[in-house]
């Protein structure tokens, strides 16, 4: 009997609370999709390094899944709370008819069980289909061979999903049982008749709190945008974060007391249509939902920042490969290490390696019986220089003390990288980038790492001169110029000083570079060449001679694709879960309130309010609650994304705008979709029953 009653209750509730079931199904599907990626990727023909990156990504996603399960568990419990409130009168009738609380708990147990099984079955089915498309996306991102692609069902992801969600549903059952045991008959029967009292807060106190909160929030914004480089410890960022969280809470708290007061003073607007009804309903709700509104706002903020940042990193890294990896391979060889003994000894090089460090990269490969140049169709060799007489202490000049106050963490005693202008122009021609010229008494700095550019520009604008090998040089430009030497998927050039060839003392040669393009473009052949080079590390000569270190386009591309894919999926996983959770919480709250407000809308109908005006009032009321946390979240995100891009500036922010557009699309479809579904479901709830 109780089972049949539970099934009838579910059938009766599905129409009004479709959002709850839809959210559960969506949660199950997303959980399965992101945990099933490894089952399909093992079928792909990828390199061993790519396979290692995929395994690392899956380990990361498994850890993230634990965090996601807590978020979804909180969402399910939160949703159950509102569904329980919706049925207070029903439970009161059961108690009046003589049903015990134990039996009511059993009804809820069976309902939760049926809902759980149904959402798991449908969600897993939906997830299995989606996972095939996700696997195609992964294969495309890793440029994998799809010849072995087949339809795959991940039993491990399925079992993990069932276990995680079963635990969540079990917690919901316990929560529901406790809630029923504590309820009183009088509260259940009269719950729908209770009207939340509008407690008008002291407007002057609200104004003071709002102003203080805004100032504190503004200060937090300033720290993360303009003072982030001065944060010496990772924990220091928690201070502006805490300031932002508490400011958000008190802004909503003060608005809950200000908005109604302000609008009430605008008599013409307040008494127009159903505005007075809408605003009093809004004021009544926000007084009791300040905490939840704050949580939703912060979740939306995290969603926007996560999606924008991860998509920007992915797009920027892929774009950087085209710009910053213009050659097939680059090998660098440390030179004259005995001249800089103390500098290199700390890195673990032995005495023989330091003593034998007078060979260029090409010469060192010949020592290992490997003529690397036979594999290049064209190549160049260039050098860089360094001296303890030219460090950041010297290049920053009179601005050193001012800069040290702002940026105390920099290693000001590190030697600057020096390069002949002719060598750099040789690289620039090979890379296809801009060349430069210098007079005999000039120097310039090339860089692409934004934070270091800002620091170096301070001294360049001050026309700081340097003394190098007995030559006084003045800057040609008052700012760093764009350029780089080492290939990378990121902007890592913190500054290279270009000087006239005649200035350089060859005794201070510190590194030799060999840059070239392979004779072949076949990926398999290139892989064999690079595997052969890597195998040289096992040669017995490696104990006496130091092999050149290398970076190749293929290796950089594989590492970049792996990292960008990992960042993208983790960002999407968390971002979508946060977005769904915040939208679902709002939606369920509004649906519950719509159920409570049926009597109020019925009274409005009795006094002659037409249906169109009622629907318009309902639309505005729901819109206010969806838009309010979103507006502040967007404001937070402007500064949050700026901070994220400052921290992740090595990846570049050239692709930020497209990422923001994609994030906006996610918000419109998911958040906006929940808003529309909430409106239509609420309209159905308050509809007059004849």
If we measure between CA atoms, which residue out of 95, 518, 573 comes closest to residue 330?
518
Whose tokens are 């570079």? That residue is 513
Q: What is the pTM of this model?
A: 0.74
Residue 332 makes CB contacts below 8 A (sequence gap 6+) with: 361, 486, 511, 512, 513, 514, 548, 549, 550
**Cβ(71)–Cβ(579) under 8 Å?**
no
Q: What is the pLDDT of residue 326?
A: 92
Least confident span in 102-111, 454-463, 672-681: 102-111
| Model pLDDT, residue 419 | 95
Q: How far apart are CA 261 and CA 249, in angstroms?
A: 19
Q: Is the pLDDT of residue 408 over 60?
A: yes
In the predicted structure, residue 4 carries a pLDDT above the cut 70: no
Q: Please give the pLDDT value at position 310.
A: 82
Mean pLDDT over residues 33-56, rounded?
Answer: 65
Spatial neighbors of 615 by CB under 8 A, at least 6 apart, are 683
Eight-state DSSP code of residue 334: E
Q: pLDDT digit string (tens) for 336-358?
A: 877 765 666 556 666 677 777 78
As to burial, measured by CB atoms within 10 angstroms (0-12 exposed, 13-18 middle, 19+ buried), residue 113 is: middle
Does position 485 have pLDDT exceeding 80, yes or no? Answer: yes
273 pLDDT higher than 70: no
- pLDDT band for position 187 (50/70/90)? low
pLDDT at 690: 41
Burial class (CB in 10 A: 0-12, 13-18, 19+), 421: buried
Determine the 3-state secondary structure of 404 from DSSP. Answer: helix
From CA 251, how far away is CA 629, in angstroms rounded?
11
Contact 149, 44 (CB under 8 A): yes
3-class secondary structure per residue, 379-400: EEEEEEECCCCCEHHHHHHHHH
Q: Strand pairing of 417-420 and 496-499?
A: parallel
Q: What are phi and psi of 653, to 5 degrees?
A: -125, 25
* pLDDT over 90, % of the chain: 14
Predicted confidence at residue 370, as pLDDT, reads: 84
Q: Which residue has the higher pLDDT, 680 or 134?
A: 680
For residues 152-173, average pLDDT = 80
Q: How confident is the model at residue 684 (pLDDT cuts 50, 70, 90)?
A: confident
- Containing 444, the helix (H) or strand (E) segment is strand 442-446
Please report where in the chains the tokens 């396979």 appear, as a residue.
51
Give CA–CA dist 132/152, Å, rounded: 7
CB 244 within 8 A of CB 217: yes
Three-state DSSP at 330 gives strand
Query: Tell me: the pLDDT tens digits for 612-636?
Result: 777 777 888 888 888 889 999 999 9
pLDDT of residue 93: 64
For the chain, the farthest-separated pair of C-alpha atoms sits apart, in whole angstroms, at 102
Q: Is the predicted pLDDT of residue 189 greater than 60, yes or no?
A: no
| Pairwise CA distance, residues 190 & 639, whole Å | 47
Q: In the numeric block, which tokens belong to residue 247?
A: 């400011």
Q: Residue 174 above 90 pLDDT?
A: no
C-alpha distance from residue 313 to each of 536, 562, 570 (Å):
34, 12, 12
Is residue 427 scored above 60 in pLDDT? yes
Cα–Cα distance, 81 to 85 (Å, whole number)? 6
CA 333, 336, 337 angle in degrees (round to 5)? 85
Asked whether the predicted pLDDT for residue 445 surpasses 90, the reply is: yes
Question: Quick check: helix, strand or coil at residue 439?
Answer: coil
pLDDT tens, position by position, 563-582: 777 778 888 888 888 888 88
pLDDT, the chain, mean: 78
């Amino acid at each position: 009997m109780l089972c049949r009653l539970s099934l009838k209750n579910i059938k009766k509730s599905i129409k009004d609370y479709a959002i709850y079931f839809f959210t559960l199904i969506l949660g199950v599907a997303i959980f399965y999709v992101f945990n099933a990626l490894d089952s399909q990727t093992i079928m792909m023909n990828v390199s061993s390094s790519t396979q290692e990156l995929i395994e690392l990504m899956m380990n990361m996603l498994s850890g993230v899944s634990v965090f996601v399960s807590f978020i979804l568990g909180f969402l399910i419990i939160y949703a159950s709370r509102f569904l329980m409130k919706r049925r207070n009168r029903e439970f009161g009738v059961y108690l009046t008819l003589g049903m015990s609380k134990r039996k009511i708990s059993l009804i809820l147990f069976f309902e939760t069980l049926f809902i759980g099984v149904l959402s798991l079955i449908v969600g897993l089915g939906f997830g299995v289909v989606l996972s095939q498309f996700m696997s195609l996306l992964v294969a495309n991102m890793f440029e994998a061979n799809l010849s072995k692609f087949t339809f795959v069902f991940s039993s491990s992801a399925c079992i993990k999903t069932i276990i995680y969600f079963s635990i969540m549903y079990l917690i919901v059952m316990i929560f529901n049982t406790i809630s029923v045991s504590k309820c009183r008959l009088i509260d259940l029967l009269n719950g729908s008749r209770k009207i939340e009292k509008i407690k008008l807060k002291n407007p002057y106190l609200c104004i003071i709190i709002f102003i203080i909160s805004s100032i504190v929030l503004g200060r937090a914004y300033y720290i993360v945008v303009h003072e982030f480089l001065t944060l010496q410890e990772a924990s220091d960022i928690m201070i502006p974060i805490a300031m932002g969280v508490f400011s958000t809470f008190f802004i909503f708290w003060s608005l809950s007391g200000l908005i109604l007061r302000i609008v009430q003073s605008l008599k013409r607007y307040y008494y127009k249509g159903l505005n007075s009804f809408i605003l009093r309903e809004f004021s009544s709700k926000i007084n009791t939902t300040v905490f939840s509104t704050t949580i939703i706002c912060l979740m939306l903020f995290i969603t926007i920042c996560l999606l924008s940042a991860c998509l920007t990193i992915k797009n920027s890294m892929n774009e950087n490969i085209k710009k910053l990896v213009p050659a097939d391979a680059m090998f660098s060889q440390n030179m004259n290490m005995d001249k800089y003994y103390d500098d290199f000894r700390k890195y673990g090089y032995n005495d023989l390696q330091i003593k034998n460090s007078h060979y260029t990269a090409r010469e060192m490969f010949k020592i290992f019986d490997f003529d690397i140049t036979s594999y290049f169709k064209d190549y160049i060799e260039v050098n860089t220089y360094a001296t303890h007489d030219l460090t950041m202490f010297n290049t920053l000049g009179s601005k050193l003390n001012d800069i040290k106050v702002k940026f105390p963490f920099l290693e000001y005693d590190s030697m600057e990288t020096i390069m002949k202008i002719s060598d750099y122009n040789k690289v620039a021609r090979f890379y296809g980038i801009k060349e430069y010229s210098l007079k005999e008494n000039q120097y310039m700095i090339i860089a692409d790492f934004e934070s270091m550019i800002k620091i170096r520009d301070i001294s360049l604008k001050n026309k700081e001169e340097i003394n190098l090998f007995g030559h006084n040089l003045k800057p040609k430009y008052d700012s760093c110029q764009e350029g780089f030497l080492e290939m990378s998927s990121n902007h890592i050039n913190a500054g290279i000083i270009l000087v006239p060839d005649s200035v350089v003392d060859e005794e201070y040669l510190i590194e030799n570079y060999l840059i070239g393009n392979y004779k072949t473009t076949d990926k398999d052949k290139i892989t064999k060449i690079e595997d052969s080079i890597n195998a040289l590390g096992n040669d017995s000569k490696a104990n006496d001679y130091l092999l050149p270190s290398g970076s190749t386009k293929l290796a950089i591309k594989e590492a970049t694709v792996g990292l960008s894919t990992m960042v993208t999926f983790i960002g999407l996983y968390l971002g979508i879960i946060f977005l769904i959770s915040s939208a679902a919480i709002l939606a369920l709250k509004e649906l519950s309130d719509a159920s409570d407000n049926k009597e109020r809308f019925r009274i409005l109908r009795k006094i002659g309010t037409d249906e169109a005006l009622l629907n318009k009032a309902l639309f505005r009321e729901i819109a206010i609650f969806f838009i309010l946390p979103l507006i502040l979240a967007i404001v937070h995100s402007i500064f949050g994304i700026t901070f994220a891009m400052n921290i992740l500036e090595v990846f570049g922010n050239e692709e930020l705008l497209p990422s923001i557009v994609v994030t906006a699309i996610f918000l419109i479809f998911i958040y906006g979709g929940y808003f529309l579904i909430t409106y239509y479901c609420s309209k159905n709830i308050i509809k007059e029953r004849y």
